[in-house]
Chain A
Amino acid sequence: MKVLLRNPSREIEVPGPLRVHALLERLDINREAVLVISDGTLVTGDAVLPPEVTVEIRPVISGGAL
């Protein structure tokens, strides 16, 4: 599957199928800090990502000035 990452923006290939939690663990990403969007649809941690999808891992942490 194609995985889009941010900060900095980049694209990597990860073999599927894979559960969302497993993908995040493999990439060492804290699940509390991101949303996972598969082909434009928000998915839960137990969802299985098939090999042909495009997955965006979108960071949700923000904040400088408060």
Chain B
Amino acid sequence: MKCRACSRPAVIDIRRHNTAFCQDCFVRHCRDQVERTVHAYDMFGPDDRVLVAVSGGKDSLALWDILLDLGVRADGLYLGLGIGEYSDASGRYARDFASRRGAKLVEVDIPTTFGFDIPTGAPAARRTPCSACGLSKRHLFNQAALDGGYDVVATGHNLDDEAAVLFGNVLRWDLAYLGRQLPVLPADDGFARKVKPLVRLSERETAAYCVLKGIEYIVEECPMAEGNRHLGYKGALNDVEVRSPGSKAAFYFGFLERVAPLVETHATEQRADLHPCPECGSPTVSEVCAFCRLAEKARRNASRGGHPPETDSSTEHR
């Protein structure tokens, strides 16, 4: 197989584009896709300060690398989740990358800062680990961006992530979530601007980008995520994709073009009820925000030796 751009031997084939690239042309392809996405959705400008949510995985490190190569003023933020060796290794990959690129990495360790960790905090608040983790990430990335004076938070959500989330939201016809499943969420009172510059790249492409650029990342899946619903959706979509290449992209970009404008109002309706959390000041529709409730329940549970807490099934997802 030959590179479509230069006819040298290819190292990766991308079936949804019916194409293949050599190493140099593939790296350029990834960079072009991100640049095109940033411009198409007006994600940020040349003077904006960007805070990249960095996990030590392939997507966030690929994103940070590409943004730095594009000359974006991009710092990283790593959250220590307290998931044993997995968190230790993830943090090392994030720090090593930052050091190698001479980039600034901000770190927030949840156990030392907030007094709980995800493995014990999640059951204390009657949440799945992924729910507690996602909630903590959204809250703390937003807070760090506001505190640090960043113009925008960039996350490594790729095409597969977005297609899988869309699939789940469609299965439940969750119009409020569908209404805000966009590549850009504008800044608002208490909310930093959030962008997803990798939505034109599949996770196979972001992994290949890291391999070809020599970026070391944590390959192992998070031990808390095993068997979760989101991974099941990805598997189902890949079963479709392998028979019909381009299906995931058609599903997601078709939604953005034809359906998202129709459901946008469902997201804004919920926002009318937002007020500041009395504990931390973050916007919430509840009396106390979901993160402060999670932290409080986790700490209370730890202090009494891990007995089962009361139920909290509510979510706040932005």
Q: Which residues of A contact B (CB under 8 A)?
A: 6-7, 30-35, 37, 41-47, 58-66
- Identify 20 residue pairs between A and B in the complex whose beta-carbon atoms are under 8 Å apart, listed by A's number: A32-B202, A35-B204, A42-B11, A42-B12, A44-B1, A44-B13, A44-B20, A45-B13, A46-B1, A47-B1, A59-B219, A61-B203, A61-B235, A61-B238, A62-B203, A62-B225, A64-B224, A64-B225, A65-B134, A66-B157
Q: Is the CB of A63 within 8 A of B231?
A: yes
Q: Which residues of B contact A (CB under 8 A)?
A: 1, 10-13, 15, 20, 23, 57-59, 129-134, 137, 157, 160-161, 164-165, 202-204, 206-208, 211-212, 219-222, 224-225, 228, 230-231, 234-235, 238-239, 241-242
Q: Is the CB of A66 within 8 A of B58?
A: no
User: What is the predominant secondary structure among interface residues of chain A facing chain B?
Assistant: loop
A41 to B9, CA, bound (A): 12
Q: Is the CB of A64 within 8 A of B230?
A: yes
Q: Is the CB of A32 within 8 A of B224?
A: no
Q: Is the CB of B133 within 8 A of A42?
A: no
Q: Is the CB of A64 within 8 A of B133?
A: yes
Q: Is the CB of A33 within 8 A of B130?
A: no
Contact of A32 among B59, B204, B225 (CB under 8 A): B204
Contact of A44 among B10, B206, B225 (CB under 8 A): B10
Q: Is the CB of B222 within 8 A of A64?
A: yes
A1 to chain B, nearest CB (A): 19
Q: Is the CB of B219 within 8 A of A33?
A: no
Question: 6 smallest A-B Cβ distances: which pairs?
Answer: A64-B225, A65-B133, A65-B134, A64-B130, A60-B207, A32-B238
Q: A42-B211, A60-B58 are in contact. List 5 more A-B contacts (CB 8 A).
A: A32-B202, A45-B1, A60-B203, A61-B203, A64-B231
Contact of B230 among A37, A47, A63 (CB under 8 A): A63
A residues near B202, Cβ cutoff 8 Å: 32
Q: Is the CB of A41 within 8 A of B11?
A: yes
